[in-house]
Structure formats: structure tokens, C-alpha cells
């Protein structure tokens, strides 16, 4: 133990401002990685790996085990190849978020030029969701933003129709050919129906008050994790309306709040600060809903 304390004192004696900067950069990288892995099942695995690493480090410091040290040293290179495979979905999701960062300004400018049409589209979506909610008919509506959803649209039936409440009600009427799947909306048109969307692998829905959500909620959350789209879902069991964006979900919304949130995403903002405040507000509302 005295040897360990001597090592710690020696490290502090050699500490310089460059060393502090070096540690700060490493801390930022680790923090960014943890943000990417937050609310995923990988966090459980990561905690287990960290615990094992800490225990082994203490074991090597206190006890001299040459053979065991050699074994672990031989295994480490294989682990370096295994990590990208294990964390592939999270790495891909993080790179996709970085790639979408540069397209935000173009998205806002486009929304500014077509605001009136977008408001009409959003009003039609909210009206349809309110009627579906009253009848307890399930629905999943995906609103495309900057990132193309063409790959997902190919999995469904092409419609290229105007967005109206009546058409959405007909699509999601139980036992009709298009009711099972998602509707994708882009440029104020219903691009396709009965689309297959990615399912969420995170643990957010398992921590909700109901503990288990249906496939529509998992698909809504999964779409928001894999793309920058906004997903609106109506529960078939309870009729409640929810919205998902950026891997977060707000549930049990009324039609007025749903419309206000959708308009806030598409209205042109004055600067990036307002967009950041919108993102923070959405995350706070999400945490509040999940905590209920």
C-alpha cells in the first residue's frame, strides 16, 4: 500500500499544465463516448467491464502475478478487435449524429420557406391522431426532416398523396392492408405506408411506468435513434399519443401539446441558441414523463 501511495505522490509532483490539458482531453473523449452509450443496453456491459478493469488493476498493484499478467497482456489485442464489433450500433449512431450536424442550417432555411404548408400538414397529422386516439386505433407517423428515409419507404407501399386527416384515418383503420406499419411524410406528402422501421434496442421503454411498450413505440423510438426524423405514435391499447425525437419520447400528450411540439421543431429559429433550448426542453419533458 505504501508503494501505491508513493506512486500517487510521484504522479502529482510531475503534474504540469500540459498534463492537465492531456487529462482534460481524455476526460472529454470518455464523456462523449458515455453520452453516445447512454440509455442503451451496452451501459450494463460497460459497467461490468469497468469493474473488472479496476479490480484487475488493484490486483496487479498489490500482488505480483507474472503468469496471470502475461495471460491478460496476450488477450488485450483480441479485445481491441472485439470492441468495435460489440459497440457497432452505438458507434454507427454517433457517427450518424455527427454527419447530421452540418445539415441543420439547411433544414431550418427550407422550413422557413415552406412554413405555411408545413403548418397545414402538422395540423392534419394532429387532427388525425386525435381522432385515432379517441377510437383507440394504433398509428405510427414518421415526419422526415433533414435525413432521407428513402430506404425505409421502399419497404412499404408508395402513395405520394396529400396529407389529410381522412386519408390517415383510412390508412390506420384496423385490418386494412396498410394499417400495420408506419406512414412516412415528406414535403407535405404521404410518401409511403406500411413501412418497416427500425426497433429500439435501448432500455428507455422498459423503465416507463407500464414497463413494456408495443412494437409501435419501439419502432418510433428506434426511428428517432437511427435518424433525425420525428415519430408520432398512437397507442392501440390506451389511445394515448406520444412523440419521439433524438432517442427520447414524451408520452400521454393531448392534441394541443402535440401540435405545439411539432411546430416548434419546424418553425425557423433566430439562432442556434434557440434550437439548443428547444432540445433541452424536450429532454427535460422526456425525463419528467419517464419519471412519472
> Per the structure block, which three cell numbers stand in for 193?
405506408
Q: What is the pLDDT of residues 142-185, one digit of tens each?
A: 999 878 888 899 999 999 999 999 999 999 999 898 988 999 99
Q: How far is CA 273 from the centre of its chain?
A: 21
> Per the structure block, which three cell numbers stand in for 53?
478493469
Domains and CATH numbers, the chain: 2-99 (no CATH), 106-291 (3.40.1700.10)
Q: What is the CA radius of gyration of the chain?
A: 24
pLDDT of 37: 63
DSSP letters along 89-144, please? HHHHHHHHHHHHHTTHHHHHHHHHHTHHHHHHHHHHHHHHHHHHHHHT--EEEEE-
pLDDT of 129: 95
249 beta partners:
244
DSSP letters along 157-192, please? EEEEEE--HHHHHHHTSTTSTTSSSEEEEETTEEEE
pLDDT by residue, tens only, the chain of 292 residues: 577 677 777 777 777 778 788 888 988 988 877 776 665 556 666 677 777 777 777 777 777 777 777 777 777 677 667 767 766 666 666 666 666 555 444 444 444 556 778 888 999 999 999 999 999 999 999 999 878 888 899 999 999 999 999 999 999 999 898 988 999 999 889 999 999 998 887 666 555 555 556 888 999 998 988 888 999 999 988 889 999 988 888 888 999 999 999 988 876 554 444 455 555 556 656 555 544 4
pLDDT of 251: 86
pLDDT of 277: 53
pLDDT of 276: 53
pLDDT of 101: 54
pTM, two decimal places: 0.62
> Per the structure block, which three cell numbers stand in for 42?
451496452
Asked if residues 87 and 42 have their Cβ atoms less than 8 Å apart, the reply is: yes
pLDDT of 184: 96
Backbone angles phi, psi at 182, to 5 degrees: -110, 150
Q: How far is CA 230 from the centre of its chain?
A: 10
Amino acid at each position: 500500500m505504501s508503494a501505491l501511495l508513493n506512486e500517487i505522490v510521484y504522479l502529482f509532483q510531475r503534474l504540469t499544465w500540459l498534463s492537465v490539458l492531456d487529462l482534460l482531453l481524455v476526460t472529454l473523449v470518455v464523456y462523449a463516448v458515455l453520452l453516445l452509450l447512454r440509455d442503451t443496453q451496452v451501459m450494463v456491459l460497460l459497467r461490468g467491464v469497468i469493474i473488472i478493469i479496476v479490480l484487475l488493476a488493484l490486483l496487479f498493484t498489490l500482488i505480483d502475478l507474472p503468469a496471470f499478467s502475461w495471460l491478460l497482456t496476450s488477450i488485450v489485442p483480441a479485445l481491441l478487435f472485439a470492441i468495435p464489433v460489440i459497440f457497432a450500433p452505438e458507434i454507427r449512431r454517433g457517427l450518424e449524429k455527427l454527419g447530421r450536424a452540418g445539415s441543420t442550417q439547411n433544414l431550418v432555411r427550407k422550413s422557413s420557406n415552406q412554413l405555411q404548408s408545413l403548418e397545414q400538414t402538422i395540423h392534419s397529422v394532429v387532427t388525425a391522431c386525435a381522432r385515432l386516439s379517441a377510437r383507440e386505433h394504433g398509428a405510427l407517423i414518421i415526419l422526415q426532416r433533414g435525413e432521407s428515409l428513402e430506404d425505409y419507404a421502399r419497404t412499404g407501399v408508395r402513395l405520394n398523396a396529400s396529407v389529410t386527416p381522412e386519408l390517415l384515418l383510412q390508412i390506420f383503420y384496423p385490418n386494412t392492408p396498410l394499417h400495420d406499419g408506419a406512414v412516412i411524410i415528406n414535403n407535405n406528402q404521404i410518401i409511403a405506408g406500411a413501412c418497416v422501421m427500425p426497433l429500439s434496442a435501448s432500455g428507455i421503454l422498459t423503465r416507463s411506468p407500464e414497463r413494456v411498450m408495443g412494437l409501435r413505440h419501439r419502432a418510433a423510438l428506434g426511428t428517432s435513434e437511427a435518424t433525425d426524423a420525428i415519430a408520432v405514435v398512437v397507442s392501440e391499447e390506451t389511445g394515448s399519443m406520444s412523440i419521439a425525437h433524438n432517442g427520447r419520447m414524451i408520452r400521454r400528450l393531448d392534441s394541443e401539446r402535440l401540435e405545439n411540439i411539432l411546430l416548434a421543431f419546424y418553425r425557423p429559429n433566430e439562432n442556434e441558441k434557440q434550437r439548443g433550448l428547444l432540445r433541452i426542453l424536450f429532454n427535460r419533458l422526456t425525463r419528467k414523463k419517464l419519471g412519472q
